[in-house]
């Protein structure tokens, strides 16, 4: 049930508006600032690693590894700030394609 609700949440979020759907303006140049953020969590699970390695030199012996443990399931959050500058849009002849150069700094 938990996997289904996570998949449904991801599907609903992907249908929401995003900057790629915003209309572009030819005069949209200059400085800008923004804030972004997000949150998430991971499920706790058991993990086991099996294997071995060889000691070099005069010992020349194999050491076995059999490790077990659990991963954490702590929530995590991220918050950041961005600032940048956009230059004038550069078009490519009669085509609808264009390039809008920009420089941006982000801090998390």
Bigger pLDDT: 74 vs 104: 104
Bigger pLDDT: 7 vs 54: 54
Per-residue model confidence (pLDDT) at position 19:
55
What does the pLDDT look like over 8-31, one tens digit per residue?
666 666 665 555 545 555 567 889
Q: What average pLDDT score do residues 30-54 get? A: 86
Q: What residue numbers bound the domain in which 73 lies?
A: 13-41+48-107
Total tally of structural domains belonging to the chain: 1
Question: 57 Cβ partners below 8 Å, 6+ apart?
Answer: none
Instruction: Answer whether residue 2 is part of any domain.
Output: no
- Answer for the pair 102, 90: CB distance below 8 angstroms, yes or no: no
Instruction: Answer whether residue 33 is part of any domain.
Output: yes
CA distances from 97 to 11, 17, 90, 91, 104 (A): 29, 22, 9, 6, 22
């Amino acid at each position: 049930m938990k996997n289904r609700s996570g998949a449904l949440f991801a599907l609903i979020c992907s249908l929401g508006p995003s900057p790629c759907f915003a209309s572009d303006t030819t005069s949209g140049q200059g400085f800008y600032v923004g804030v972004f953020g997000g949150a998430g969590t991971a499920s706790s699970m058991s993990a086991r690693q099996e294997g071995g390695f060889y000691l070099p030199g005069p010992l020349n012996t194999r050491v076995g590894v059999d490790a077990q443990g659990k991963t954490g399931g702590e929530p995590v959050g991220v918050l950041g700030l961005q600032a940048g500058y956009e230059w004038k849009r550069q078009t490519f002849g009669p085509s609808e394609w264009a390039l809008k150069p920009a420089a941006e700094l982000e801090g998390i």
